[in-house]
Copies of this chain bind each other. A is one copy, B any other.
């Protein structure tokens, strides 16, 4: 048990709403296809927003909710898939855009695609619990809309842009807030089921053999879906066995917002009731690493999740990596 709390949560949504009708027209998809296949109704795409700008906006809101001054942040973890630029890491630019005094915080990025936020939160929680830092800001900021492949409509319609952030501090004596358990497992046989081949040393942007399709996302949806479900059942059984909680006693389950059908599996296969689930996929889409903290932040804002609630964050993503984390909010 780590005696830490999410002292504040915040999020940022780009102003531009992209409806199914707009996407269906752009991509040449029959009307109604997106909602029927994925459950999505709309998503946001950035205009002039940047990764660091969105991360800082979400971070500032999390700090305001926590009542903590930006000058007191001593750790900034950027937990996102795509950086703003290759060097330096994006958390550096969030330090700047937050107006955080330089030299007073350490900045690094963590990346495990959809699981980035959970890994970042788990890391921050351990560092804060051990006293290495006092106030950690963990944010996820994803601009998915620049890396979609209009030829692959099944994936192009799923994603949205967003940022979300959490402030992690030690719980005060007597506070119930804690992180109880986290579990992660990576299955490399799924590495090619959702991938973006470019953007690294294998297909360098300046290499003439790097082709445009390598710089956009690709997904083998049905195989990824089946493999994710098959692996998630025993993964969650093991998670709850170690955790020692009965699934029915969880106040809120926040799934990674992969797609409508993927979220439905939490009811149909993983043993939860529909009213335990926190869902924002229909209006936000899959915002990769930002999905989980965004759904959490919106649920806290609406009062759906309150102090003292038992919350489980869980999902699967590229890797293929499964993750789950249990906390008392």
Contacts and interface: CB of A to CB of B under 8 A. Distances in A.
Interface of A: 2, 50-51, 76, 81-93, 95-96, 102-113, 115-116, 119, 122-123, 126-127, 129-130, 132, 143, 146-147, 182, 184-189, 191, 194-207, 210, 212, 215-217, 231, 318-321, 323
Contact of A200 (B82, B122, B129, B130): B82
Nearest to A86: B199
A81 B91 contact: no
5 contacts: A86-B198, A87-B194, A87-B195, A96-B191, A109-B112
Given A91-B112, A92-B321, 14 more contacts: A85-B197, A88-B112, A88-B191, A89-B111, A102-B186, A107-B186, A107-B319, A107-B321, A108-B184, A109-B111, A109-B112, A123-B127, A126-B130, A146-B206
Contacts of A203: 85
Contacts of A126: 123, 126-127, 130, 132
Contacts of A115: 108
Nearest to A182: B132
Given A95-B188, A107-B112, A188-B93, A201 B127 contact: no
Nearest to A143: B201
A76 B216 CA distance: 26
A110 B113 contact: no
A96 B201 CA distance: 18
B130 A129 contact: yes
Given A186-B92, A231-B103, A51 B86 contact: no
Contact of A205 (B119, B188, B210): B210
When all copies of this chain in the complex are counted, the total is: 2
A236 to B, nearest CB: 13
B103 A187 contact: yes
A200 B83 contact: yes
Nearest to A212: B206
Contacts of A116: 108
A189 B102 contact: yes
A110 to B, nearest CB: 6
B205 A199 contact: yes
A185 B103 contact: yes
Contact of A108 (B2, B96, B111): B111
A50 B202 contact: yes
